């Protein structure tokens, strides 16, 4: 970390960095970034090696400080692209807000979460593993599992009295001893799914570019759900959080069910038709509505 470089990104309209920070800081035991009152820092993997970035707001700009041994022009471009992707800063969400404002029941969400963007998981392997880890268990426990995994086999950087972890690589996860994962309290199913996904990445059966090159959304869903452990919920979750597809609905999601039940007085587990009727006024913005509905449940789901 011998060199330092400041990178400025202009704030888009309808973007709130405070909302971004409050989403990242939901009281869960997150291990892949470090928060302060007004900044977030994380380890970043770049083509020319790893570094640490710290992001804060300075007036009308996002200021990203990159710490790295030797900083290249390519590093700077990649960091800028990473942050824009992570916080979904390139998207014009005016059309979404227009739809929200005229909705009878949901219009207050504009003001409750003003400038809140769909925060992503740019790393596809991490997004898929996180979908597996989070299935069927409460998020508090899911974050504990993730931390155990990351601390065991994620690469780390020590910088200014802090440890910054990378999410494990497919190879390092694949090579983890089964018993170690059992001791961490992963279920046998989750362990098998994680191995399967790791192996798929190692063999290049799945990658972000392979998904991006699929002809249709349906083809992407099929490619994802071909993987054992990835069902319809996980596929939509990953397309939303990693591929930045804004037209996804996480069918089967307990949090989504709960939000719709509370706001629309449906069954506790609303039918697909009931869910679709909520989303029908938000064509092309389903992922954003999905994300905002999650937010209505509060910091802890």
Residues that bind DNA (CB under 7 A): 131, 134-141, 144, 185, 187-191, 225, 227-235, 237, 241, 250, 252-255, 257-258, 294, 301
CB of 114 to DNA, least distance (A): 20
Buried b / exposed e along 117-141 (16+ C-beta atoms within 10 A): bbebbbbbbbbbbbbbbbbeeebee
Write down the least CB distance from residue 223 to DNA, Å: 13
Which of helix, strand or coil describes residue 72? coil
C-alpha dihedral sign at 138, 284, 127, 123: negative
Q: Which is nearer to DNA, 158 or 178 (by Cβ)?
A: 178
Q: How far is the CB of 104 from DNA (least distance, A)?
A: 26
Angle, CA 164 vertex, CA 159 and CA 165 arms, to 5°: 150
With vertex at residue 23, the alpha carbon angle to CA 17 and CA 29, rounded to the nearest 5 degrees, is 130
In 75-219, the DSSP E strands lie at 156-159, 162-165
Decide whether 67 or 291 has the Cβ nearer to DNA.
Answer: 291
Between residues 157 and 236, which has the closer beta carbon with respect to DNA?
A: 236
Our CB check for DNA shows the closer of 92 and 112 to be 112
Taking the C-alpha atoms of residue 301 and residue 292, their distance in angstroms, rounded to an integer, is 12
Quick one: 67 or 193, whose CB is closer to DNA?
Answer: 193
Give the span between the Cα atoms of 261 and 299, in whole angstroms. 18
d(CA 53, CA 64) in angstroms, rounded, equals 6
Is 75 or 253 the residue whose CB approaches DNA more closely?
253
User: Nearest distance from residue 301's CB to DNA, in Å?
Assistant: 4
Min separation Cβ 251 and DNA, Å = 8
Min dist CB 62 to DNA, Å, is 23
């Amino acid at each position: 970390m011998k060199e330092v470089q400041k990178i400025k990104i202009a704030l888009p309209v309808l973007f709130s960095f405070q909302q971004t920070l409050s989403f990242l800081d939901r009281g869960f035991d997150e291990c892949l970034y470090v928060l302060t009152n007004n900044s977030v820092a994380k380890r970043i993997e770049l083509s020319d090696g790893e570094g640490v970035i710290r992001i804060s707001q300075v007036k009308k700009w996002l200021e990203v400080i990159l710490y790295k041994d030797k900083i290249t022009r390519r590093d700077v471009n990649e960091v800028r692209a990473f942050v824009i992707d992570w916080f979904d800063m390139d998207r014009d969400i005016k059309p979404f807000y227009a739809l929200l404002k005229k909705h009878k029941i949901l219009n207050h969400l504009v003001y409750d979460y003003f400038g809140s963007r769909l925060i992503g998981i740019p790393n596809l392997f991490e997004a898929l593993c996180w979908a597996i880890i989070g299935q069927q268990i409460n998020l508090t426990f899911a974050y504990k599992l993730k931390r155990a995994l990351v601390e065991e086999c994620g690469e780390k950087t020590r910088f200014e009295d802090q440890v910054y972890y990378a999410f494990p690589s497919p190879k390092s996860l694949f090579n983890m001893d089964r018993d170690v994962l059992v001791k961490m309290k992963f279920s046998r199913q989750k362990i098998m799914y994680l191995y399967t996904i790791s192996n798929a990445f190692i063999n290049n059966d799945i990658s972000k570019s392979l998904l991006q090159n699929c002809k249709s959304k349906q083809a992407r869903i099929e490619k994802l759900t071909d993987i054992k452990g990835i069902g319809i919920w996980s596929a939509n979750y990953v397309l939303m959080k990693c591929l930045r597809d804004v037209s996804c609905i996480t069918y089967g999601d307990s949090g989504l069910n709960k939000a719709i039940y509370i706001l629309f007085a449906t069954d506790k587990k609303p039918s697909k038709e009931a869910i679709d009727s909520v989303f029908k006024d938000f064509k092309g913005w389903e992922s954003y509505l999905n994300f905002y509905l999650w937010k209505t449940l509060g910091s802890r789901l």
